């Protein structure tokens, strides 16, 4: 069905993104394409879809793939029917039904069920209130995604390419997506960080600088295999570190033994009255012998050091970081937020059909759930004191909170990376100490003067975590609003590890069930 042969892609700036990519996708196969940010997953999908030309290699596909991109801005000026490329057929069918047959048969191309498939697809994705003549720009992010997902059932392609399809979907729409993926007969290649979705796919293709690695199972199987590989890497690392220590110890012992022999020989020569010229010759020989021994050992040590460096470079980024969050100073169980019969209104219309009664205590780990428009972000603003309720009463205890939204707005885009870190330097750390912490969070010397506005979502998240460790004052509460939306799996794991080290109060808005499970959510507030 799909064959990629020796595909490579070089950016216009001459930077090679990937090289010699080879794989085959068979009929009905469902594949997860994963890899760290910047490895070229979206670019590879565009090449398969024919939206980009590879620098080298060949793509052979039995039929035209149906491609759903991550961003839909390029379709904003089109109607839904135009974006789905069904306008001409629908117009032709309408004309035929009105008696204008001759000029419209070619346009319809015998697709007499096009209208029925449209209605069924829109109904499945709960889009029956939309008009096909509506402009795409009038739709929400979730509606745009569902419109293009509906296009799969309308066009019934053999191969579907999906780039982060669950990004803008609420819980209900995500479940529709999961059900669709399990039931569809189309072959799929899916780029996603939604691990629940990835577990529905039966093969994992990992894209890295080394090319494509294939794992014959779902994401959980892949994670198990990676852990086995990681354990083996750690074992190799431990053995190599031990070998390096032994090599250095052997060098020291050999040199000490040689120096003792040289010293003993020198004393004997002086006692025996050997001529000075002869002593100088013997001394030179001893120095050459010592230098030769050093060279032999240095060569061995350098070899082991190089192998050790290569092994360390293969370590996952998360293993290189140290978060070091302090515990909250508040005692566990202290009432932080107590709301009785509260509600909030926009344009004189209350958000919640029933007034809310909510109590939040220190140390809890809470998920806020609800469909799009259910008032989750409004409740967060009430908790933080940025809004006051229109009805009811609420009390807030004194506590320090950090609010982390999906755009990581704590990061000031006008600052450079080092300047941003310096903003959180409340304990007068020296410049080299701040730079050490930046290094620990994978911001090297080349990144320190980089403007924050060019950072990816994952880089902003890492910088934000770094800044929180630099401030050296752990907040009492961390509130996360869809924190995983713009992150790849690697950066989600970094965020998960940081959150699990945090011992204060945690409130999370997220549609990512896998993430919520990993950060040990104890209670759910459903709006």
| Sheet bearing 335-343, strands edge to edge | 356-361, 335-343, 391-396
Per-position pLDDT tens, the chain of length 527: 899 899 999 888 788 888 889 999 999 999 999 987 778 888 899 999 999 899 999 999 888 999 998 878 788 889 988 888 888 888 888 878 877 777 777 777 777 888 888 889 999 999 888 888 888 888 888 888 999 999 999 999 999 999 989 878 888 889 999 999 999 999 999 999 888 999 999 999 999 888 899 998 999 999 888 888 777 777 766 676 677 777 777 777 776 776 676 666 666 655 555 555 555 565 555 555 556 655 666 666 666 666 656 655 555 555 555 555 566 667 778 899 999 999 998 888 888 889 999 999 988 999 998 877 788 888 998 998 888 999 999 998 888 888 887 777 888 888 999 999 998 888 778 888 888 888 888 888 888 888 888 887 778 888 888 888 887 667 888 898 888 877 778 778 888 888 888 888 999 998 888 889 888 899 999 88
Q: How far is CA 173 from CA 80, 126, 148, 237, in A?
A: 19, 8, 13, 45
- pLDDT at residue 277, as a whole number: 59
Q: Do 152 and 185 form a contact (C-beta atoms < 8 A)?
A: no
Structure tokens at 379: 């409740």
Q: Do 25 and 1 form a contact (C-beta atoms < 8 A)?
A: yes
Q: Is the pTM of this model over 0.75?
A: no
| Sheet bearing 187-191, strands edge to edge | 66-68, 159-163, 187-191, 30-34, 203-208, 211-215
Separation of alpha carbons 389 and 341, rounded Å: 10
- CA-wise closest residue to 371 among 146, 211, 184: 146
- CA-wise closest residue to 489 among 521, 517, 515, 455: 515
Assign 225 to helix, strand or coil. Answer: helix
Angle at CA 377, nearest 5°, toward 373 and 383? Answer: 140
- pLDDT at residue 160, as a whole number: 94
Sequence-ordered list of residues with C-beta below 8 angstroms from that of 415, at least 6 positions apart, any chain: 423, 451, 452
Assign 56 to helix, strand or coil. Answer: strand
């Amino acid at each position: 069905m799909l064959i990629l042969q020796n595909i490579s892609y070089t950016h216009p700036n001459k930077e090679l993104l990937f090289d010699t990519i080879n794989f085959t996708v068979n009929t009905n196969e469902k594949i997860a394409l994963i890899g760290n940010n910047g490895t070229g997953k979206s670019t590879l999908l565009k090449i398969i879809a024919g939206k980009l030309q590879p620098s080298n290699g060949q793509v052979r596909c039995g039929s035209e793939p149906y491609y759903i991109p991550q961003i839909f801005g390029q379709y904003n000026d089109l109607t839904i029917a135009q974006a789905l490329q069904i306008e001409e057929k629908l117009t032709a069918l309408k004309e035929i039904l009105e008696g204008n047959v001759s000029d419209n048969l070619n346009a319809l191309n015998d697709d007499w069920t096009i209208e029925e498939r449209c209605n069924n697809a829109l109904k499945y994705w709960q889009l029956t209130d939309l008009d096909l003549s509506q402009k795409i720009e009038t739709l929400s992010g979730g509606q745009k995604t569902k419109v293009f997902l509906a296009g799969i059932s309308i066009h019934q392609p053999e191969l579907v390419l999906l780039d982060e399809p669950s990004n803008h979907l609420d819980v209900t729409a995500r479940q529709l997506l999961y059900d669709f993926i399990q039931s569809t007969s189309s072959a799929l290649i899916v780029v996603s960080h939604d691990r629940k979705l990835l577990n529905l796919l039966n093969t994992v293709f990992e894209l890295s600088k080394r090319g494509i690695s294939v794992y014959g199972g779902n994401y959980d199987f892949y994670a198990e295999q990676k852990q086995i590989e990681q354990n083996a890497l750690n074992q190799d690392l431990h053995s190599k570190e031990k070998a390096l220590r032994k090599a250095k110890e052997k060098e020291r012992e050999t040199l000490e033994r040689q120096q003792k022999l040289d010293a003993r020989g020198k004393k004997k020569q002086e006692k025996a009255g050997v001529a000075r010229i002869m002593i100088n010759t013997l001394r030179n020989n001893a120095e050459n012998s010592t230098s030769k021994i050093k060279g032999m050992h240095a060569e061995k040590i350098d070899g082991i050091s190089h192998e050790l460096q290569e092994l360390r470079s293969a370590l996952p980024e998360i293993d290189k970081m140290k978060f070091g969050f302090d515990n909250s100073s508040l005692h566990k169980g202290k009432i932080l937020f107590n709301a009785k019969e509260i509600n909030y209104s926009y344009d004189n219309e209350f958000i919640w059909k029933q007034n809310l009664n909510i109590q939040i205590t220190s140390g809890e780990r809470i998920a806020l759930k609800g469909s799009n428009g259910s008032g989750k972000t409004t409740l967060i603003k009430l908790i933080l004191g940025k809004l006051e309720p229109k009805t009811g009463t609420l009390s807030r205890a004194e506590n320090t909170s950090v609010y982390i939204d999906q755009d990581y707005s704590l990061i000031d885009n006008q600052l450079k990376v080092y300047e941003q870190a310096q903003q959180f330097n409340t304990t007068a750390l020296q410049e080299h100490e701040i730079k050490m912490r930046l290094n620990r969070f994978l911001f090297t010397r080349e990144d320190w003067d980089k403007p924050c506005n060019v950072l990816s979502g994952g880089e902003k998240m890492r910088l934000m975590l770094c800044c929180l460790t630099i401030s050296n004052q752990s907040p009492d509460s961390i509130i996360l609003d869809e924190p995983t939306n713009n992150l790849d799996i690697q950066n989600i794991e970094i965020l998960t590890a940081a959150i699990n080290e945090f011992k204060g109060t945690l409130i999370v808005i997220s549609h990512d069930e896998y993430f919520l499970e990993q950060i040990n959510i104890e209670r759910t507030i459903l709006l």
